[in-house]
């Protein structure tokens, strides 16, 4: 009886020590993961900011006024005149029909 309880106590002690150690390691792991998460979030935010800036940049380059200017001045483009346009109407059955 006495000997049995001694073994039990030893086992319990070992279990307690193991639990305590695993608490420490899991806490450490949790912190590491959290730091990773934090970094990830920061990166996401950084990218979000960059996305906004790129969108701005793209839309600044693509302002209709700028496109128009380049088309007319650099590329010498102009609206087609009367005789230069032909209309092709696609009928519901897929046939193309030239319009006057």
Partner 1 sequence: MNYAASAHPDITAKLPGWRATALFVALLLGMAGLLGRGVYLQGIHDDFLQEKGNARYSRVIEVSAHRGMITDRNGEPLAVSTPVESAWASPADVEADSRQIKQLAQILGMGTDEVKKHLFDASRDFVYLKRHLPPDQAGKVASLNLPGISLQREYRRFYPAGEEAAQMLGFTGQDDNGQEGLELALQERLGGKSGSQRVIKDRRGHIVEDAGSLHAPKPGSDVVLSLDRNVQHLAYRELESAVRQHYAKAGAVVVLDARSGEVLALANYPAYNPNNRGKVSSQAMRNRAIADLFEPGSTMKPFTVATAIEQGKVHPETVINTENGVYTVGGKKIHDSHPESMLTVAQVIQKSSNVGAAKIALSMEPETLWRSLSDSGFGAQTGSNFPGEAPGKLRAAKTWKPIEQATMSYGHGISVNLLQLARAYTIFANDGELKSVSMLKLDSTTIGKKVFSDSTAHALRGMLELAVQAGGTAPLAQVAGYRVAGKTGTAHKLENGHYINRYVASFVGFAPVSNPRLIVAVMIDEPGNGQYYGGLVAAPVFSKVAGAALRALNVPNDAPLDNVIAPTADIVAEEV
Binding window for partner 1 (CB under 8 A); candidates: 5-13, 14-22, 45-53, 69-77: 45-53
Measured distance CA(75)–CA(12) in Å, rounded: 86
SS3 23: helix
Minimal distance in Å, beta carbon 8 to partner 1? 37
Please choose, from the candidates 30, 37, 14, 58, the residue with its C-alpha nearest in 3D space to the C-alpha of residue 66. 58
Site string for partner 1, 58-87 (x = CB under 8 A): -xx-xxxx----------------x--x-x
DSSP state, 62? T
97 scored as a contact of partner 1 (CB under 8 A): no
Select from 8, 12, 21, 35 the one that contacts partner 1 (CB under 8 A): 35
Minimal distance in Å, beta carbon 76 to partner 1? 19
Measured distance CA(72)–CA(39) in Å, rounded: 48
DSSP state, 71? I
Residue 86 corresponds to which tokens in the numbers above? Answer: 């032909």
Residues near partner 1 (CB under 8 A): 30-31, 34-35, 38, 49, 52-53, 55-56, 59-60, 62-65, 82, 85, 87, 89, 100
């Amino acid at each position: 009886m006495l000997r049995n309880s001694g073994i039990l106590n030893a086992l319990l002690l070992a279990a307690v020590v193991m639990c305590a150690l695993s608490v420490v390691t899991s806490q450490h792991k949790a912190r590491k993961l959290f730091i990773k998460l934090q970094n990830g979030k920061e990166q996401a935010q950084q990218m979000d900011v960059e996305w906004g800036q790129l969108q701005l940049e793209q839309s600044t380059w693509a302002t209709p006024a700028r496109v128009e200017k380049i088309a007319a001045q650099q590329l010498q483009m102009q609206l087609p005149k009367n005789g230069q346009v032909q209309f092709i109407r696609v009928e519901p059955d897929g046939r193309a029909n030239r319009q006057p």
